[in-house]
Amino acid sequence: MSNSAKLIPQWIRILAGVLGLFALSIGIGGYFKPDMVVHGFAFDSVANQTMGMMFTGRNAALGVALILVAIGGVPESFAVIFIIGFLIELQDLITNFVTGGLLNEKIFVAVLLMIEGYVISRLFKIIGEKHAAEKAG
């Protein structure tokens, strides 16, 4: 593990790994049972099935990326992946409000957004300190 990778607090690595496993399991599970992931959506047409596969595929891809950075990523790679995750969750929250989704889904996504926002702010601080240390020495 590089010196930059050691700057990441252990709790952020663990969170990335847990979120990665969660996203990967949703991606894989949604491939076999799409209505598990998108409640109340009819997968009766090719277009709807394609949308379901895209949704589960993006979750699986995000899961793999989170697991990889959890294993040995540097602060910048953590920041990029968490920003991507934040934007995906924001899209999900907006879609959930527009389509009249379930309240518990809205709450879950909102809590996840707050956690990811906090992690991103911590990562920006770590990256700033890293760059300041590199300039100084």
pLDDT for residue 41? 67
Q: Which domain holds residue 60?
A: 5-136
How far, CA to CA in Å, does 118 sit from each of 17, 79, 82, 121, 137?
17, 11, 10, 5, 29
pLDDT tens across 68-84, in order? 999 988 999 999 999 99
* DSSP-derived secondary structure letter, 34: G
pLDDT for residue 24? 95
Q: Are 52 and 37 in contact (CB under 8 A)?
A: yes
Instruction: Give the residues of the chain that fall short of pLDDT 50.
Output: none
The tally of domains found in the chain comes to 1
Angle at which helix 10-32 crosses helix 75-99, to 10 degrees, equals 50
